Amino acid sequence: MALTDFFIKGFNNIFRGKDQYTQTNFQTFGQLYNLSKGEYKIDTSVNGLHEIATTTAHLSAVMTKKANMLANGRWCEYRMERGEKVKVENSEIVRALENPNPLQNGNELLRQISWSYDVYGNCFINLNRLSSPIPTSMYVLPVADLQFKYSGKLYTQVALDDIIEKIWIDTESGYQYFEIKNLIHFKTANPNSPLLGISPIEELKLPIANLRAALGFRNRIINNDAALGILSGAATQDMSVGLNEKDQKRIQSAYKSKFGMQQGKADIIMSETPVTWTSMSYPTKDLMLFEEVDQDFKIIIDHYGLNDNIFSREKASTFTNYDQGVKSAYQDCIIPFSEDIALGFTKSLGLDGLNRWLEIDYSHLEIMKEDEKAKTENLKRTAESVAILRANGYEDVADSIVENL
C-alpha cells in the first residue's frame, strides 16, 4: 500500500464516525490538509434507502406525517348519471379497498403506499384476482426484493407486457412471479427513464448527511464519547509535576470503569497523585448544529411537499399558522397525490374513468369543512348584496357580480 493511501485510509477511519450510514470521503492527499472538503455521503442503494429512512428521525417524521394525512381519506366510487356526479352506495370496489388483505386495513395499505413511494420513488401493488376485475386481495410489494427482466424494446412498444417480461421475488420457497397486468405501479418522475422512479432521498443526500452528522456530533457530546477535560500533574512552586505513564494508565482505567457522567458511575475520581483538571468546552452554539438541523429539516419538508408549520419546533407555530399549514399540505401535496393513486386504481379495477371512477375523499375532515363553511358564508353574503343592488335598480352591477362568481 502506498504511503498516501495509508494516510488517506487512516483519516477515513478517524473521521468516518457519525454512524454506519454516513462516511467521510477524502479523494486526494491534498484534502488531508483541508478537512472541510471531506463530504459526508449516505448509502442510497436499495437496501440503504430503508435504513436511512427509518434511522433519520426528521426524515421519518416527514414521511410518517405524509402517510398519516393520506390515510385520513375515504375511498369513494362515483358514476355519471344524467350529467351529474353520483356516489355509488355499498360499492364492492370500495369494500375491497377498505379490506385489501388479511393483514391490513385500507388505511394501513395507504400508509404503506406512501412510505414505499417516498423511500424508493416506486410503489408496486399486486392485485390477486379470480375471474372478476375486483381483486380478492392486494399487497404492496417490497421494492428492495423485486427483480425485473426487460425486453430491451422500451421505446417501440405499446403494451407493458412487451416492455417488462418478468417481475419476481426470490423467496425461501423459490421464485414468486407476478403478472404484469395485475400490477399497479406508482413512481416519481425520472428524466432518464419512464420505467422506474427516483428515490426522493437521492436528491436529499447532502441535507440528510449534514443532519445526521450534526445529530451525531451532539450525541457524542451527550454520551461523553469525547474528552471533557484533561487531568494533568498538579503545579508546584517551581514546576508542574508530570504524571508518569503508570499513573496515566491507572487514572484512565478508573475513569472508564468506575467514574463518569453515565448512570451508575461516581462523579469524582479519588487519586493518590496530585492532579489538576483543565476543562475542554465544545462550542456547540458556534458550530450552529441546531441551526443546521433546522435548515436541513425544512429542506426535507419542502421536498416532500408538506408545510413547515405542521411540525414541532423550538418555537411552536401559532394556531392560525398550523391551521393554514395543514390546509396547504392537503391542497398542495396530499390531495394531488391521492388523485394519482385513485387514477391508478380506477384504471386497474376495470373502471373507465369517465362514467365510473374512484376518489379518495377528505371533505369529512373538520379542517376541510371549515373551508366549505367559509365558502358558504361568502356566497350567502354575496347573494344578499346582489339582492340589495337589484332592489335599488343597479341591475348591471348585480349581473356583473353574478357573472364573476
What's the pLDDT tens digit per position in 327-383?
A: 999 999 999 999 999 999 999 998 988 899 999 999 999 888 766 666 666 777 777
Give the model's confidence band at 29: pLDDT under 50 very low, under 70 low, under 90 confident, else very high.
Answer: very low
Which CA distances in Å does 348 have to 127, 180, 181? 9, 11, 8
Q: 353 with 342, same domain?
A: yes
- Cell of residue 234, nine digits: 498538579
Domain boundary among 246, 261, 281: 281
pLDDT value, residue 197: 93
Indicate the helix (H) or strand (E) that contains 60.
helix 57-71
Distance between CA atoms of 2 and 35, rounded to whole angstroms?
21
Give the model's confidence band at 9: pLDDT under 50 very low, under 70 low, under 90 confident, else very high.
Answer: very low
Q: What is the residue-averaged pLDDT of the chain?
A: 79
Percent of the chain exceeding pLDDT 90 equals: 42
Q: 325 with 354, same domain?
A: yes
Give the lowest-confidence range in 159-173, 221-235, 387-401.
Answer: 221-235
Neighbours of 192 (CB within 10 A): 7
Which CA distances in Å does 166 have to 35, 196, 228? 48, 15, 59
Give the model's confidence band at 130: pLDDT under 50 very low, under 70 low, under 90 confident, else very high.
Answer: confident
Q: 135 with 209, same domain?
A: yes
Position with higher pLDDT, 286 vs 260:
286
Q: At what angle do helices 335-348 and 106-120 cross, to 10 degrees?
A: 110
- Using the predicted structure, report yes or no on whether residue 152 has a pLDDT greater than 80: yes
pTM confidence score: 0.72
Q: 38 with 169, same domain?
A: no
Question: What's the one-letter identity of residue 49?
Answer: L
pLDDT value, residue 246: 79
Q: Which residue in the block uniquely carries the three cell numbers 355499498?
A: 90
Question: What's the one-letter identity of residue 377?
Answer: E
Q: 145 with 196, same domain?
A: yes
pLDDT value, residue 369: 75
Q: Which residue in the block uniquely carries the three cell numbers 335598480?
A: 393
pLDDT value, residue 400: 76
- Using the predicted structure, report yes or no on whether residue 266 has a pLDDT greater than 90: no
Domain extent at residue 260 = 227-281
Label residue 288 left, alpha or beta by phi (over 0 means left) and psi (-120 to 50 means alpha). Answer: left
pLDDT value, residue 46: 86
Domain boundary among 254, 281, 308: 281
Q: 325 with 208, same domain?
A: yes
Measured at the CA of 199, the angle between CA 195 and CA 201, to 5 degrees, comes to 165
Q: 310 with 375, same domain?
A: no
The CA R_g of the chain, rounded to the nearest whole Å, is 31
Say how many domains are in the chain: 4
Distance between CA atoms of 1 and 3, rounded to whole angstroms?
7
Q: 309 with 386, same domain?
A: no
Q: 172 with 306, same domain?
A: yes
Percent of the chain exceeding pLDDT 70 equals: 72
Q: 56 with 105, same domain?
A: yes
- Using the predicted structure, report yes or no on whether residue 11 has a pLDDT greater than 70: no
pLDDT value, residue 286: 62
Q: 277 with 307, same domain?
A: no
Domain boundary among 242, 264, 281: 281
Q: 114 with 71, same domain?
A: yes
Q: Which of 230-234, 246-250, 266-270, 310-314 has the highest mean pLDDT?
A: 310-314
Half-sphere exposure of 170 (CA within 13 A, CB side): 4
The pLDDT of 147-165, averaged and rounded, is 85
Give the model's confidence band at 315: pLDDT under 50 very low, under 70 low, under 90 confident, else very high.
Answer: low
The pLDDT of 296-319, averaged and rounded, is 86
